[in-house]
A and B are shown apart, each in its own frame.
Chain A
Amino acid sequence: MLAYIIRRLGVALLVTAGVAAISYALLHAIAPNPAFVALGDRSSPIAVAAWDKANGFDRPEVVQIVDYVWNIARLHFGYSFKLNQSVGALLKENVGRSAYLSLASLVLALIIAVPLGIAQAVKRNSPGDYAVTTLNFVLYSMPSFFLGIILIQFFALDWHLLPPLVSDQVTSTWAAIIHPKQLLLPVVTLAAIQVASFSRYMRSSALDTLAEDYIRLARAKGLSERVVLMRHLLRNACLPMITLVGLSIPSLLAGNLLIEYIFNYPGLGLMFYTALGTEDYNVMLAYVVLGGMLTVLGNLIADVALTVADPRVRLD
């Protein structure tokens, strides 16, 4: 088990290094010189050359890439020439709020999707099952920003129940936690998109599990339906959800970006969006690489968690 984890960790580190290298090379290819961003479009060639030398952009590209990967390995994300502060500090400032948004919606999505999927499987092919499946299909095809707009229309503008945008007062993670009303719409929007794929998957997993012999046995020995579902079905049907949650990190991050943009919630996504507009080289790069890291980490944790949760799975 330990050897497996160590080997997976090694692969994960290599993949992350690859992600950093490829991202750097790509950005380098489309935006060759950040000097103009730092110094201004009309800076003189001499100033640019001096700046390149000072910041190491005069070295061969391969050296720069290796250097960047090495920096990422030490969690040095570079310097934002636009905002005049280190990217690390920027990330630290924003990561809490984004993590809170993502985790809250992930938890909410699971709380809704798991029972919903089981209920659909138990009452399969009923009008309720069809209704939920249809809704899931629509949600699955709905861009998150459009769903956000619809929810703002109803809950904020028509019914005046919730604020349409996250208030400027939510400046810290703690503020976000103690003002749940501010975050309710963004969290629900992000969760709804996740529920669409989670409950669809949960339904099919629960259907598979319902057909198992041990469920039939549990029923045959006279256990109540509640015990059958809670003790025998739930735990087995949830196993694939471990993999699913691990694999859903990229869509969660993408949703995060759009939701932060729509609701004007200051997090990593909004930071990235601003950086795109100002061509803030290192911030853009850091966000992409961080997304890659989280994706790799999500897969790794899911695989390890599955081996722990399900002794039948012997990954080698």
Chain B
Amino acid sequence: MVHVQQGPYGGVLPADHPVGGGPTPDGGEIHAISSGWRLALREFTDNRLAVLGLAVLVFFLLFSFAGPLVYHGNTTISNPLAANLAPGGGHPIGTDENGFDELARMMQGGQAAFEVGAFAALIAIVIGTLYGAISGLVGGFLDGLMMRLVDVLLSIPFLFIVLVLSTKYSGTVVEISIVLGVFSWLIPARLVRGEVLTLRERDFVSAARVMGGSRTRIVTRHLIPNAMSVTIVNITFLIADSMLALAYLGALGFGLSYPRTSWGDMLGGALTYVQNAQWWLVYPVGACLVLVVLACNLVGDALRDALDVRLRRR
């Protein structure tokens, strides 16, 4: 069997474990009675890579948001006398061409990454969940129409359309998050619709309907909460993708407006920096970016495996 799950930018991630392998009585052993979520949590914490990824994320969250409280560096006033200093002295990671402190800028870049990642993922997941749930529930002609629209939108290359929009809207975290979020809800919508299609045939949904539950109630109280596991896994990938997209936009010069900055903005001049042997302006920032995106992907992978287990044993 081929399990294809679409990843960032239409790339494809393998699903190592097929979802819903049916009940598996493991040789008659009896599992302690625990909720599915607790099972998932145990599976998650058993995965050392995932715990490592979570630790990296916590570290960078502290670095970005608590760091500036402890470490103060100039990031607002251009100072040619302190420009392009190598690491050392009062600047642990040196300064850039404006004389801004690189370490303090890295903290700012981290803030932008987390804020945009979270906000864009939130927008995408809200739109995607509602759209997918409605589409799956109404079925019929409207469902077909709604899914064809998703097909069309998915055929527009994400980065291209986002770049076009970012020529006008990329100055603030809110703007850039909306641009990214509004074009990232398609995969979640498809996943949630698929989940809803199987859930709507389940007995508890029929029961709710027979008891006279309104459509809104069935969607918000029964379908969406049960489609949550798919959504949760997807959120981490959405965050990683949004962070990468933010980096791409910044590197191409469509980044945040002064005084805010992102890791991608800081890497915009990377080619010049490496040619001038200013390694401190390239590799520390790049490492932050790769580590955080990697951590998100590791956590996402582990969550998918953990929630698969929950589904399998349910």
Contact = CB atoms under 8 A, between A and B. Distances in A.
A139 to B, nearest CB: 9
A145 B14 contact: no
A279 B10 contact: no
Contacts of A146: 247, 267, 270, 286, 289-290
Given A23-B161, A276-B163, A149 B282 contact: yes
B206 interface: no
Interface stretch (B39-47, B104-112, B150-158, B226-234): B150-158
B198 interface: no
A203 B16 CA distance: 10
Given A146-B267, A247-B6, A295-B155, A141 B286 contact: no
Given A145-B270, A276-B164, A288-B164, A295 B157 contact: yes
B100 to A, nearest CB: 20
Interface in A44-65: none
B251 interface: yes
Contacts of A288: 156-157, 160-161, 164
A265 interface: no
A128 interface: no
Contact of A19 (B156, B167, B274): B156
A22 interface: yes
Nearest to A298: B10
A240 B290 contact: no
A200 B14 contact: yes
Contacts of B154: 295
B293 A247 contact: no
Interface residues of A, number: 59
A254 B2 contact: no
A276 B155 contact: no
A78 interface: no
B227 to A, nearest CB: 24
B251 A145 contact: yes
A26 B254 CA distance: 18
Nearest to B274: A153
Contacts of B158: 250, 254
B214 to A, nearest CB: 33
A244 interface: yes
Nearest to B153: A22
Contacts of B156: 19, 22-23, 288, 291-292, 295
Contacts of B12: 197, 201, 243-244, 247-248
A178 interface: no
B294 interface: yes
Interface stretch (A95-103, A166-174, A256-264): A256-264
A145 B267 contact: yes
A145 B290 CA distance: 12
A276 B169 CA distance: 13
Contacts of B165: 26, 30
Contact of B157 (A18, A240, A243, A291): A291
Contact of A149 (B16, B157, B159, B274): B274
Interface residues of B, number: 56
A205 B164 contact: no
B195 to A, nearest CB: 21
B55 interface: no
B160 A251 contact: no
A247 B4 contact: yes
B271 interface: yes
A15 B155 contact: yes
Contact of B160 (A22, A31, A137, A272): A272
Contacts of B244: 141, 143
The interface centre, meaning the residue of B10, B248, B274, B298 with most chain A CB atoms within 10 A of its CB, is B10
Contacts of B153: 22
B2 A141 contact: no
A15 B161 contact: no
A68 interface: no
Given A141-B293, A244-B12, A262 B271 contact: yes
B251 A251 contact: no
Given A251-B9, A295-B10, A15 B151 contact: yes
A186 interface: no
B274 A279 contact: no
B216 interface: no
A316 to B, nearest CB: 16
A149 B270 contact: yes
Nearest to A279: B167
Closest 9 CB pairs of A and B: A250-B10, A18-B152, A204-B14, A291-B157, A141-B294, A141-B293, A251-B9, A254-B159, A251-B11
Interface of A: 15-16, 18-19, 22-23, 26-27, 30-31, 137-138, 140-143, 145-146, 149-150, 152-153, 157, 164, 197, 200-201, 203-205, 208, 239-240, 243-244, 247-251, 253-254, 257-258, 261-262, 272-273, 276-277, 279, 284, 287-288, 291-292, 295-296, 299
Interface of B: 1-2, 4, 6-16, 148-149, 151-161, 163-165, 167-169, 240, 244, 247-248, 251-254, 264, 267, 270-271, 274-275, 282, 286, 289-290, 293-294, 296-298
10 contacts: A30-B165, A137-B297, A143-B244, A200-B14, A244-B12, A247-B11, A250-B157, A251-B8, A272-B160, A288-B161
Given A15-B155, A276-B167, 9 more contacts: A23-B156, A143-B244, A143-B251, A149-B270, A164-B271, A248-B10, A292-B156, A295-B156, A296-B155
